[in-house]
Structures are given as structure tokens and as C-alpha cells.
Amino acid sequence: MTAQLLSRLFAEHAASLELFARQYCNSSEDVVQHAFLKLVNTHATPDDLVPYLYRMVRNRAISVARSEARRESRERRVAAREEPWFEPTHLRDLDARAAGDTLRTLPQDQREIIVGHIYGGLTFEELARVMGCSSSTAHRRYTEALNSLRERIKSPCTQKKDNGS
């Protein structure tokens, strides 16, 4: 397949292929691009190029629509569960729901440090590698996050000495 033929096919049919894919899924541009990539990688150019593209777009769009439906279903189930961040049995005198809500108000980098360190058991060196920062920055974010949580919860939190392990 020549680059000129591929370019002509794309120019003439991409918009209608996207419209065709849109009836199945939300990612119509990606589906069309995927179809053209598959066409480029075929060993033998099909005789019926346009119907072949429509068939590939249809099959991929249906597959993507199924994936989207599964993801949306999982997200709805998880959102409905709304499990608390903190287990009430681990922390005395702390409202787990309120603590989880408060944790959600932290900036993402601080929340990741808290969850990764407390729940994941990651050291500050490991967290630094995950987050692309130095271990001292990871430790500083952890300390800032704990201070923010203390202030927002208005409850005394005891912090044990932590050497990063």
C-alpha cells in the first residue's frame, strides 16, 4: 500500500468512518486511527478497501463500546460502595468517614504520600521513585499532609518517629 493511497483513503473516508464509529462508542477518532494502522500493517492489501475499513471500524467500535460499558459499570459500583479510606477498627476515636473525606481534600501529591506510606508500607525512598522526587521531598510532603490532616480533623494525631522505612 502506497502512502498516497493511504492518504487519499484517509482524506476521503476518515470523517464518515468516525461518524460510523460514533454510533457504537465515544472514542470514534481512536477507532478510525486504529483501523488505518491495522490497514498499514496488513501483508496483503484487500481488494475492497473501503468496506474493509468499515468492517474494521465496526468491529473495533463494538469492542471499545463493550470496554467502555464495563468500565462505567465498575466505576458505578465503586462509587456506590464509597468505602472509607480509614478502617474504624484501626483508629480509636476517629470518624472513618470524616477522615476519608478530609483525606480527599489534600492535594494529590500529599494524598499519594499518605496512602502509599501508611497503607502501602512504602518507604520514602520508594515513594520518591514512584513520584519522581527526592526522598526528602517525599518526607516533607508526608509531614505537610499529616499537619494538614491534624488541622482539618481538629483531633490530636500522634506521630511516631519515622526513619523512612
Domains of the chain from N-terminus onward: 3-81 (no CATH), 96-153 (1.10.10.10)
Any idea which of 42-46, 65-69, 139-143 has the lowest mean pLDDT? 42-46
- The Cα–Cα gap between 85 and 54 comes to 46
- Range from 63-72, 92-101, 112-121, 140-149 carrying the lowest mean pLDDT: 92-101
Confidence label for 115 from pLDDT (cuts 50, 70 and 90): confident
What is the rounded average pLDDT for all residues in the chain? 83
Q: How far apart are CA 10 and CA 17, in angstroms?
A: 9
pLDDT at 110 over 60: yes
Whole-number Å distance between alpha carbons of 66 and 70: 6
- Residue 3 burial (C-beta neighbours within 10 Å; 0-12, 13-18, 19+): exposed
pLDDT of residue 82: 61
Secondary structure (3-state) at 28:
helix
pLDDT band (50, 70, 90) for residue 69: very high
Q: Given a cut of 60, is residue 87 above it in pLDDT? A: no
- Residue 163 has what pLDDT? 54
Share of the chain above pLDDT 70, in %: 84
Hunting for cell 500522634 — which residue is that?
158
Check whether 31 has a pLDDT greater than 60.
Answer: yes
**Rounded CA gap, 157 and 143, in Å?**
12
pLDDT at 83: 60
Mean pLDDT of 31-49: 90
Q: Which of residues 109 and 81 earns the better pLDDT score?
A: 109
pLDDT at 84: 57
Comparing C-alpha atoms, which of 50, 30, 33, 39 is closest to residue 1?
A: 39
**Cell numbers of 85, please?**
479510606
Q: What are the grid coordinates assigned to 9, written together?
A: 483513503
Grid coordinates given for 72: 462505567
